């Protein structure tokens, strides 16, 4: 960080606005918005960052800020600045590419093009976007071969080779019946909307006719066109009954990562889904807003954008200059759920794959070894607690060796400390390692506490008292409840790069300890609920309780059961008795 930036940081205000990062040539390389300019801009110059942010920071020579009256003004200003300056570091959807569209001109003599233009010609019709650019070009080539569409950008004075090949009607030299041009336009629209049945039938008849007349080369040409047409039709992988034309946007969160999925529907058909997975550095609404602003600054805006419930639809509609809506019922609600399921699946797969990538696990273990000064780090214990407002507190410990879970070494604990998490963790540690010392068991190299400095210090007290040789560290969460830093064995807080192998391994470990602790707590809670009702019923032992729960499925249904239903399960005498006792409990 140079002296110029240090001086600028001292004079930042805690107001909403936009910031413009500039390089040494005074060129804008990144534009962002913030609720608090001082906090956001300062964050670029402290702590660890992912590769892209680190590269951006390395190029920043100075910056400018523009203070606004509100977040809304900052968002509108941000999109205008991105459109005007096109900064190279602004995050774009997927791979920083805009997606091609097929454009049908509104001219008297139709022409098609593959285009990535941001501004639409109001007289033209657009189809897409096509995430697979190859598919767009294949469709373009097929339509030009199938129909005698105009090929030239500027109308020449005489016909060209395409006319002599039968691939153009020659409107430059001959008068073309307007009905013929209109029919070609309609045929192009039908094909690009996925309605290929009429054209397919027409080509099939032409192929059969040519074959009957022994014109086999011509028949083979029609056959190839039929195959190409079917290929184009197959590109539409989801079809809905109505002519939905909208972009459906939804997201899923996992381990501090945000996965945004967009499903593009045009004329009732969905093109390939698109997604972006990135660390969540801000709140969700701001991340989605930024994504939408930056994506649609580079891509044509649809008639409607559908977003999850809870976002500022009025603001987004104003900024993006199109209809932005949320839906809580109907077809759009179903499509939002479909987008969410895709986002959830993608982000879960991202972390699931880490478990089987040994290179990634090895890199993560090496990074942790370096941070903890532990040369031969192999075994890690993680502990966590779970309770409901202090009721039924439980603890759990999971064990990882060389980055892989060892489930045979997992342990669960019933605790006695209520909702005091620090005391609960101290109890887990005392019981676990005292037993290990008595049994002379192998003790892990590192103990990770799912908590901050208070939890780490509390656990260290017990470790020191027991004189156990194990390094204790903790995982710190940010304001968005995502893990952001590691407290090492020397109580130093180390920022974690969310794109690093270490962060991803720690995220997998946290998922596992949470799952294990919460599942045990839920099991005890269910058991207590069962006990509170059925244990007071005379004549019910463990076998009969199990039969009732298996048959009715829940305590509520047992309470609501008729006398006959209870007799069918328990027999006449016991069934009558249980029914009468339940009846009294209701009263």
| pLDDT band, residue 93 (cuts 50/70/90) | very low
Mean pLDDT of the chain, nearest integer: 83
For 375-431, the three-class secondary structure string (H helix, E strand, C coil) is: CCCCEEEEEEEEEECCEEEEEEEEEEECCEECHHHCEEEECCCCCCHHHHHHHHHHH
Question: pLDDT tens-digit profile of 501-545?
Answer: 898 889 889 889 989 999 888 888 776 665 556 777 888 887 888
Please choose, from the candidates 200, 201, 187, the residue with its C-alpha nearest in 3D space to the C-alpha of residue 144: 187
Angle of CA points 511, 502, 456, to nearest 5°: 70
The pLDDT value recorded for residue 350 is 76
- Find the range with the poorest average confidence among 256-270, 314-328, 498-512, 568-582: 256-270
Q: Does 357 score more than 80 pLDDT?
A: no
* Widest Cα–Cα separation across the chain: 103
The pLDDT value recorded for residue 381 is 95
Q: Between residues 581 and 91, which one has the greater pLDDT?
A: 581
The pLDDT value recorded for residue 166 is 79
Q: Does 316 score more than 80 pLDDT?
A: yes
Q: Does 177 score more than 60 pLDDT?
A: yes
Mean per-residue pLDDT for 51-63?
85
Helix (H) or strand (E) holding 255: none
The pLDDT value recorded for residue 236 is 46
The pLDDT value recorded for residue 410 is 95
The pLDDT value recorded for residue 104 is 87
Mean per-residue pLDDT for 73-101?
70
Residue-wise DSSP of 89-129? TS--STTT-PPPEEEE--SSS--EEEE--SSPPTTSEEE--
| pLDDT band, residue 187 (cuts 50/70/90) | confident
The pLDDT value recorded for residue 231 is 64
Residue-wise DSSP of 55-70? HHHHH--EEEEEE-SS
C-alpha distances (whole Å) from 498 to each of 53, 91, 353, 485 are 11, 16, 16, 10
- Find the range with the poorest average confidence among 48-52, 140-144, 164-168, 553-557: 48-52
The pLDDT value recorded for residue 96 is 43
| pLDDT band, residue 582 (cuts 50/70/90) | confident
C-alpha distances (whole Å) from 256 to each of 224, 280, 287, 356 are 50, 6, 12, 20
Question: pLDDT tens-digit profile of 215-265?
Answer: 888 788 778 778 777 765 554 444 444 567 889 999 998 877 888 988 888
> Would you give the DSSP letter of residue 394?
E
The pLDDT value recorded for residue 461 is 94
Residue 352 structure tokens = 């699931």
Q: How far apart are CA 82 and CA 20, in angstroms?
A: 10
Residue found under tokens 């794109």: 499
- Find the range with the poorest average confidence among 75-84, 432-441, 446-455: 75-84
SS3 555: helix
- Find the range with the poorest average confidence among 344-358, 448-462, 469-483, 550-564: 344-358
Residue 178 burial (CB count, 10 A): 10
- Kindly list the structural domains of the chain, giving each domain's residue range(s) and its CATH number in brackets, ordered by start: 3-85 (3.40.1440.10), 101-238 (no CATH), 246-351 (3.30.420.340), 358-521 (3.30.420.340), 535-586 (1.10.150)
Please choose, from the candidates 193, 347, 322, the residue with its C-alpha nearest in 3D space to the C-alpha of residue 260: 347
Question: pLDDT tens-digit profile of 293-304?
Answer: 878 877 778 889
CA–chain centroid gap for 324, Å, is 20
> Would you give the DSSP letter of residue 284?
H
- Find the range with the poorest average confidence among 116-125, 316-325, 395-404, 428-437: 116-125
> Would you give the DSSP letter of residue 328?
S
Q: Does 68 score more than 50 pLDDT?
A: yes
Strand partners, 475: 486
The pLDDT value recorded for residue 143 is 84
SS3 179: helix
Question: pLDDT tens-digit profile of 404-420?
Answer: 899 999 999 999 888 88
Residue found under tokens 């032409």: 206
SS3 246: strand
């Amino acid at each position: 960080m140079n002296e110029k930036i240090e001086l600028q940081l001292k004079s930042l205000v805690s107001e909403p606005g936009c910031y413009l990062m500039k390089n040494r040539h005074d060129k804008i390389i990144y534009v962002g918005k913030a609720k608090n300019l001082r906090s956001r801009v300062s964050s670029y110059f402290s702590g660890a960052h992912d590769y892209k942010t680190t590269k951006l920071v390395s190029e920043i020579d100075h910056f400018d800020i523009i203070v606004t009256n509100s977040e809304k003004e900052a968002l509108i200003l941000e999109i205008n600045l991105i459109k005007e300056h096109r900064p190279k570091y602004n995050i774009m959807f997927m791979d920083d590419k805009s997606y091609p569209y097929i454009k049908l001109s509104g001219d008297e003599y139709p022409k098609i093009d593959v285009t990535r233009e941001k501004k639409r010609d109001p007289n033209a019709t657009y189809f897409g976007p096509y995430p697979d650019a190859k598919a767009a070009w294949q469709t373009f080539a097929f339509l030009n071969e199938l129909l005698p569409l105009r090929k030239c950008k500027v109308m020449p004075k005489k016909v060209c080779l395409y006319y002599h090949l039968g691939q153009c009607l020659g409107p430059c030299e001959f008068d073309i019946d307007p009905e013929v041009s209109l029919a070609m336009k309609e045929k192009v629209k039908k094909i690009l909307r996925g309605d290929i049945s009429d054209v397919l039938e027409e080509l099939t008849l032409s192929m059969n006719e040519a074959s009957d007349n022994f014109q086999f080369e011509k028949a083979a040409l029609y056959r190839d066109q039929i195959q190409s047409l079917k290929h184009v039709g197959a590109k539409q992988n989801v079809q809905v009954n109505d002519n939905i034309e909208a972009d459906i946007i939804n997201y899923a969160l996992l381990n501090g990562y945000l996965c945004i999925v967009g499903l593009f529907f045009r004329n009732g058909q969905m093109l390939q889904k698109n997604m972006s997975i990135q660390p969540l550095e801000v709140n969700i609404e701001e991340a989605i807003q930024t994504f939408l602003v930056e994506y649609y600054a580079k891509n044509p805006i649809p008639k409607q954008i559908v977003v999850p419930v809870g976002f500022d639809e009025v603001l987004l509609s104003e900024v993006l200059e199109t209809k932005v809506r949320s839906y809580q019922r109907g077809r759009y609600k179903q499509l939002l759920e479909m987008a969410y399921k895709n986002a959830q699946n993608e982000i879960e797969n991202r972390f699931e794959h880490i478990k089987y990538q040994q290179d990634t696990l090895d890199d993560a273990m090496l990074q942790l070894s370096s941070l903890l000064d532990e040369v031969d780090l192999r075994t890690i214990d993680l502990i966590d607690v779970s309770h409901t407002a202090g009721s039924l507190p439980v603890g759990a410990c999971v064990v990882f060796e060389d980055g892989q879970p060892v489930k045979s070494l997992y342990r669960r604990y019933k605790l006695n400390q209520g909702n005091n998490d620090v005391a609960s963790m101290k109890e887990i540690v005392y019981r676990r390692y005292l037993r290990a010392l008595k049994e002379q068991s192998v003790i892990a190299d590192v103990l990770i506490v799912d908590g901050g400095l208070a939890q780490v210090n509390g656990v260290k007290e017990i470790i020191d008292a027991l004189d156990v040789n194990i390094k204790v560290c903790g995982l710190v969460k940010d304001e968005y409840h995502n893990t952001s830093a590691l407290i090492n064995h020397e109580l130093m807080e180390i920022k974690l790069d969310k794109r690093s192998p270490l962060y991803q391994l720690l995220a997998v470990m946290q998922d596992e300890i949470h799952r294990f602790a919460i599942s045990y707590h839920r099991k005890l809670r269910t058991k207590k609920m069962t006990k509170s009702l059925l244990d007071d019923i005379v004549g019910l032992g463990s076998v009969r309780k199990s039969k009732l729960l298996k048959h009715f499925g829940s305590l509520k249904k047992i309470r609501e059961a008729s006398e006959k239903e209870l007799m069918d399960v328990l027999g006449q005498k016991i069934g009558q008795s249980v029914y009468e006792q339940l009846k009294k409990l209701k009263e």
